[in-house]
Structure 1
Amino acid sequence: MTLALEIISPERLLLARQVSMVVIPGTEGDLGILPEHAKLITSLRGGMIDIYEDDEIIDRFFVSGGFAEITETRCTVLADEIMKLADINRDTAAEQLAAAETEYRDVDEADPTAWRNASDRLITAQARIDALAHQ
C-alpha cells in the first residue's frame, strides 16, 4: 500500500509520486506519515523531509517551513522554501545562521511578532546546518 505525496514550492509542483512513507518536520515534532493516516493539517518547521520506498530513504529535501495536509491516501506539503539536501551550500548556511543569531540576540523582546520572526529564522538556520550532517 502506498501514499500519494505532493511537494509544492511557491514556484511549482516539485514532486508528485507514490511513496511507502514520508517523514515531515512538524512544528510539534517529526511526523511519520503512512497510508491510512488520520486526517491532519500541521504547520512545518525548518527541517528534513525524508521520502521512503519500503524501508529505505530514497530522497531528502530541506524545507524552511510551510504546511502539510494529510489524509488517509495523500500527503500534500506546501513549502515556504524547499531544496534538495545536496543543494545546501555550507558557507551560505553558516552565514545565514550567523545573521539569524545576531538578529535573535538583538531583537526587542517586547515586540512579540519581531521575537517570533527572529526565533523562526534562527530555528530554520540551525536546522539547515543540522541537515548538512546528513549529506
Structure 2
Amino acid sequence: MATTYQLKIVTPERTLFEGPVTYIIVRSTEGEIGILAHHMQLITPLVPHIITVYPENGKTEQFTIGGGFLEVGDTTTVVLADSAERASEIDVARAQKARERALETIGKAEPNIDLIRAKRALARAENRLKLAGHPTALTH
C-alpha cells in the first residue's frame, strides 16, 4: 500500500508546489487537519495559515496561504489557495505595513468597517511575518 500521494498547491497565478508527499498539515475553518495517504475524500475551506508539507524526500517545507480550499481525492490532494508564498518570497516590510493597517482598521471599530476582512488581513500578514522568521509580536 502506497504511503505517499500527489500534492498540488496552486493559486490563481501559479503552481507553488507539486509532487509526492507523505503528510501535510493544514488549518480549515473547523481546525487543524493532518492528511496522510488514503485519507477519506474531503473538500473543506481553509483559513489563512502556514501549511506544513512533508515531501517524499524528507525535507519539510512550509508555505503561508491566505485562505482557500482543500480537496482530498483518492490519489491527489489539491490546496487551491487565494495566495501562497514560500518564506524566501516574503517582503517583510510590506507584510509589516499590512499588519499595521489591519491593526489600525480593527482598532477604529467603526460601524462601516468590515471587521472580518480586517481580521483576515491581520492573520495573513502575521503568518507571512512568522514564516519569514520576523520577531514581530503576534496578536493571534
What is aligned with 1:67? 69
> Where does the alignment leave 5 or more consecutive residues of structure 2 unmatched?
135-140
Please tell me the residue identity of whatever aligns with 2:124. T
What is aligned with 1:103? 105
Contact 2:27-2:46 at 8 Å conserved across structures: yes
Q: Deviations over 1:69-119 (max 9, x none)?
A: 1124221011111111121122221111101111112243x56x8121112
Q: Deviations over 1:19-76 (max 9, x none)?
A: 1111123233222110111222121122212111359443221111111111242210
Q: Structure 2 vs 1, CA of residues 15 and 117 (structure 1 numbering), >3 Å: closer, same or farther?
A: same
Please tell me the residue identity of whatever aligns with 1:133. G
Contact 2:20-2:56 at 8 Å conserved across structures: no
Please tell me the residue identity of whatever aligns with 1:97. R
What is aligned with 1:125? 125
Q: Structure 2 vs 1, CA of residues 71 and 23 (structure 1 numbering), >3 Å: closer, same or farther?
A: same
More helix as a share of residues: 1
Across the aligned residues of Structure 1 and Structure 2, the Cα RMSD in angstroms comes to: 2.2
Contact 1:50-1:57 at 8 Å conserved across structures: no
Aligned length: 132
Question: 1:22, 1:59 → 2: CA distance?
Answer: 10
Question: 1:69, 1:99 → 2: CA distance?
Answer: 32
Contact 2:87-2:128 at 8 Å conserved across structures: no
Please tell me the residue identity of whatever aligns with 1:100. A
